[in-house]
Structure 1
Amino acid sequence: MTPLKKARTERKWRLADVCDRLRDLGENIDTGNLSRIERCEQRASPTTAEKLARVFGGDLTEIHILYPERFTTPEQGGVAQSVA
């Protein structure tokens, strides 16, 4: 599970809830795009990443959103974390 999805599900927010909060910050994104970002099928723009970090009140950074593979472990499911 990516940091973004984990943060959202821990709050029991729906994708639509996050999209509404982003809209309040001037970022127009639909639930489909947000879902693809959560599943690492689409990359967030730097602007979207910054606003997502604001929505989650500092629990996530832009790096968590732009490079989720760095924070996702195999036992969490999803993208494997590379170990250097």
Structure 2
Amino acid sequence: MSPLRKARKQRGWRLQHVVDRLHEINCSLDTGNLSRIERGKQTASPGLAEKLCLVFGGELTELQILYPERFMDQVPAQEVA
């Protein structure tokens, strides 16, 4: 699980909540793009990574968002199937 997704789930936030908070700081993103970023299917821009760090109050670093594969948790075998 990517650090971004893990942080979001730990807070009990839905994708839309993160998108709404990004909109509050003048950043346009939709839930589909955020989901793809969380799953590693799309890469965040450095500017978006910075704004996501703000949304999460510094809990995440830009490096964790830009290079999530370096910080991925090991996925148990039963979750892979």
TM-score under structure 2 length normalisation: 0.90
Secondary structure at the aligned position of 2:50 is classed as helix
Counterpart residue number, 1:23? 23
Could you say which structure has the greater relative contact order, defined with CA pairs below 8 angstroms and 6 or more residues apart? Answer: 2
Structure 1 runs (4+) greater than 6 angstroms displaced: none
Counterpart residue number, 1:62? 62
Asked whether 1:75 is paired with 2:55, we answer no
Which residues of structure 2 form unaligned runs of 5+?
A: none
Counterpart residue number, 1:81? none
Which residues of structure 1 form unaligned runs of 5+?
A: 78-84
Counterpart residue number, 2:5? 5
Amino acid at match of 2:14: R
Q: Sequence identity of aligned pairs in percent?
A: 60
Asked whether 1:46 is paired with 2:75, we answer no
In structure 1, C-alpha distance between the alignment counterparts of 2:3 and 2:39, rounded to whole Å: 10
TM-score under structure 1 length normalisation: 0.87
